[in-house]
Every structure is written in C-alpha cells, then in structure tokens.
Amino acid sequence: MRTVWIVRIVMLASCCLWLAACSTQSPQKSAGTMGGDEHAVRFALYDQFGEWRGVPYRMGGLSKSGVDCSGLVYLTFRDRFNVQLPRSTRDLARMGSSVKPGDRQSGDLVLFRINRNLNHVGIYLEDGRFMHTSSRKGVMISSLSDPYWQKRYWKTVRPRQSLLAQR
C-alpha cells in the first residue's frame, strides 16, 4: 500500500515537471530600461516620483537633500533607464526630436520658458501631467492645463529618436 502511494506521488511530480517544462513564458521587458513598453516606462517614472516626492529644490542639486529640474531629469533617466542625458535645461532643449502636443508619450521632456533667461524642464507622465521640481514645493506632479504652465509652455522633445522604437 505504501509503495502505491509513493508511485502515485512520483508520477504526479513527474507530470507537474513535464507540464512546467512545456509551458512557455514570454520574455519580460524591464522597466529599468527605455526598452520597455509605455506602461513599463510610466511605472518606472511613478516609482521614481515616489522616491523623490517633496525633495526640495536646490539649484545645481543632485541629491535627496535638494535637486533642480534638470537634475531630476538627469537622475531619472540615468537611474531608471540607464540613459545619459545632458545636465542642463539648455542642452536638453537642443537634443532629440520635437513632438507635437497630441503625440506626447511617457518619458518625453516638456520644456517651459519662465522668462527670457530661465527655462524649466519636466518629464511627461500621462494625461497632461508631468513630474518636475518646483522652487516652492520640490519634486511634484503638475498639469499642463494649469494656466501657469500653459502660458509658459515652450515645446516637447523626445530625448532620442531611438527611444520611441525601444519602448
């Protein structure tokens, strides 16, 4: 009787192993690279926001004790997507390709002209929202439909031509 149970258990285990070996799993794209789909990119951006939310603004800052707008962009792309972007808003505005407002995707950069000597940059998330560093509230999410940002909106750029294809 005991032998019968052992044989049954061995047969059941063999069937389970055989079925597991026959199943296939599609390869997962990592959210840690820009090679993921837009959902994975968006997830990585919100994850970054969760870690940096409320970190105060500090000109030239690159740490959780203070970060500026281009520093947040630089750190986000470096840490979440292993992509090196320029450190200054001016250089970020010159790179990549321009994107029409209706064609924005998660990870695109939204740029603003605050005044003739000062520009601002944020990372587009979805549904007209972007992550950036505010001089008053630190790292936060704002809406492009806010009159303040609408008035100062300059352009949207996709960091690299290849990023769209890699998503």
pLDDT per residue over 102-155, tens digit each? 999 999 999 999 998 889 999 999 999 999 999 999 999 999 999 999 999 999
Collapsed DSSP state (helix, strand, coil) of residue 126: strand
The DSSP string of 80-121 is: HH-----SSHHHHHHSSEEE-GGG--TT-EEEEEEETTEEEE
The secondary element (H helix, E strand) that includes residue 156 is strand 153-158
Please identify every residue annotated as catalytic. 69, 120, 132
- Please give the domain boundaries of the chain with CATH numbers for all domains: 38-161 (3.90.1720.10)
Dump pLDDT digits (tens) for 6-28: 545 544 444 433 333 333 333 33
Query: Is-above-0.95 flag for pTM?
Result: no
